[in-house]
């Protein structure tokens, strides 16, 4: 694994940063999405033969981090190109690749991802959305919650379960469900969190899908699922690091200029040291994120799984601390709309909660990495 970024990565980071700064905190999501797509940033991880940039999650995470650091993160990058685009590129049929990947890369087509259920949460083994055969078709029935951007998406990649003909046990499988499929309905969840991308509860009531709606091999569903979940964790880390960097930059600027006595408040160690610690934490989290992305792009799914979980954990913690300290540095101004930090207090918590809680990551590390017995 390289210990420093390549010249290409540095150039990509600088170019995306410039784009983000042009749009800023008051960005128009659709306009930024369209411009990022035209510049090739949304599909930078997708294969060149399908209109992508031929890179990997390493490059895509740079794009999301830098947009976040400029105050204009695109959350659907985590879902559409990172999760869905990756799964289809790795496991989809040739027809699915030709149908979806160019549009995802161009930003003209978007795909949501549906895994979480009301009674399943972090336990994917309790997923109750089922798919059963009806002739050559599939019938999907179930519910999903906290699914991002369904109103923006042309289809949703749904995680369901099918019955193994040999054992009778249910196994995970992925299906592409068009937004206008009969029996596929959505209800927006009323969130305190204010974001461009809304959250939805989905209901699938005997949604009939053709045979080719199944992604990849019915017997490789678990492998395909984790092929999408690792990029999700890496990109969530990028999202969190970018948010933390944005907040920290605002606090540093304020601490340099705000003078109460004879010197700027940033001259006092009580202000300077916590900001320095926040910067260190964000840099360390980025290193783990880069390691996870490198391992994933190199095809080491097992190594990437461990690193992606650690990166997501480290970035979530670093983001929350950076936002909290930044707001505290500004005092009352940190809660005003003018400085734009107060809304990040709620947003930063997302990195601790989704797509998997920090407690579940600690469970993973304790029994997968340290070899300790499971508590569940």
| 232 phi and psi angles, rounded to 5 deg | -60, -45
pLDDT, averaged across the chain = 94
Distance separating the N- and C-terminal Cα atoms of the chain? 34
* Highest mean predicted confidence (pLDDT) among 129-133, 163-167, 191-195: 129-133
- What is the mean predicted confidence (pLDDT) over 261-278? 97
Task: List, for residues 203-232, the tens digit of each pLDDT value.
Answer: 999 999 999 999 988 777 677 887 889 999
Q: Are strands 137-148 and 111-114 parallel, antiparallel or unpaired?
A: unpaired
pLDDT value of residue 218: 78
Cα(156)–Cα(149) distance, integer angstroms: 9
- What is the mean predicted confidence (pLDDT) over 156-171? 77
Least confident of 61-65, 311-315, 349-353: 349-353
| 164 phi and psi angles, rounded to 5 deg | -75, 120
pLDDT over 90, % of the chain: 86
Q: Nearest to residue 108, comparing CAs of 153, 149, 147, 72? A: 153
Question: What is the C-alpha radius of gyration for the chain, rounded to an integer number of angstroms?
Answer: 21
Task: List, for residues 43-101, the tens digit of each pLDDT value.
Answer: 999 999 999 999 999 999 999 999 999 999 999 999 999 999 999 999 999 999 999 99
Q: Nearest to residue 322, comparing CAs of 341, 336, 338, 294? A: 341
Q: What is the pTM of this model?
A: 0.95
Q: Are strands 155-163 and 111-114 parallel, antiparallel or unpaired?
A: parallel
- What is the mean predicted confidence (pLDDT) over 142-167? 88
Q: Nearest to residue 344, comparing CAs of 23, 86, 73? A: 73
DSSP H helical ranges for 258-297: 269-297
- What is the mean predicted confidence (pLDDT) over 164-181? 81
Q: Nearest to residue 309, comparing CAs of 365, 349, 351? A: 365
């Amino acid at each position: 694994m390289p210990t420093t970024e390549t010249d290409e990565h540095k150039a990509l980071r600088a170019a995306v940063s410039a784009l983000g700064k042009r749009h800023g905190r008051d960005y128009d999501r659709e306009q930024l999405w369209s411009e990022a797509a035209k510049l090739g940033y949304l599909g930078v991880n997708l294969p060149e033969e399908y209109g992508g940039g031929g890179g990997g999650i390493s490059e895509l995470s740079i794009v999301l981090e830098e947009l976040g650091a400029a105050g204009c993160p695109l959350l659907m990058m985590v879902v559409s190109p990172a999760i869905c685009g990756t799964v289809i590129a790795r496991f989809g049929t040739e027809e699915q690749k030709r149908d979806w990947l160019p549009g995802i890369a161009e930003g003209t087509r978007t795909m949501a991802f549906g895994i979480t259920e009301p009674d399943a949460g972090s336990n994917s083994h309790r997923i109750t959305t089922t798919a059963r055969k009806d002739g050559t078709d599939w019938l999907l029935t179930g519910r999903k919650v906290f699914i991002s951007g369904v109103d923006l998406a042309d289809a949703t990649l749904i995680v369901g379960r099918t019955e193994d003909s040999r054992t009778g046990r249910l196994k995970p499988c992925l299906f592409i469900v068009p937004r206008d499929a009969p029996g596929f309905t959505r209800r927006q969840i009323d969130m305190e969190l204010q974001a461009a991308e809304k959250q939805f509860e989905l209901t699938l009531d005997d949604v009939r899908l053709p045979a080719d709606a199944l992604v990849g091999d019915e017997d490789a569903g678990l492998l395909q699922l984790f092929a999408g979940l690792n990029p999700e964790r890496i990109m969530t880390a990028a999202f969190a690091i970018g948010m933390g960097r944005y907040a920290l930059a605002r606090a540093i600027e304020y601490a340099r200029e705000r003078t109460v006595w004879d010197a700027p408040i940033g001259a006092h160690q009580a202000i300077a040291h916590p900001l320095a610690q926040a910067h260190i934490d964000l840099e360390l989290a980025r290193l783990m994120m880069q390691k996870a992305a490198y391992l994933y792009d190199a095809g080491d799914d097992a190594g990437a799984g461990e690193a992606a979980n650690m990166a997501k954990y480290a970035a979530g913690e670093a983001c929350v601390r950076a936002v909290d300290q930044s707001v505290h540095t500004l005092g009352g101004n940190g809660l005003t709309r003018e400085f734009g930090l107060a809304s990040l207090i709620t947003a930063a918590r997302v990195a601790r909660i989704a797509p998997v809680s920090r407690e579940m990551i600690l469970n993973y590390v304790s029994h997968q990495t340290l070899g300790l017995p499971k508590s569940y």
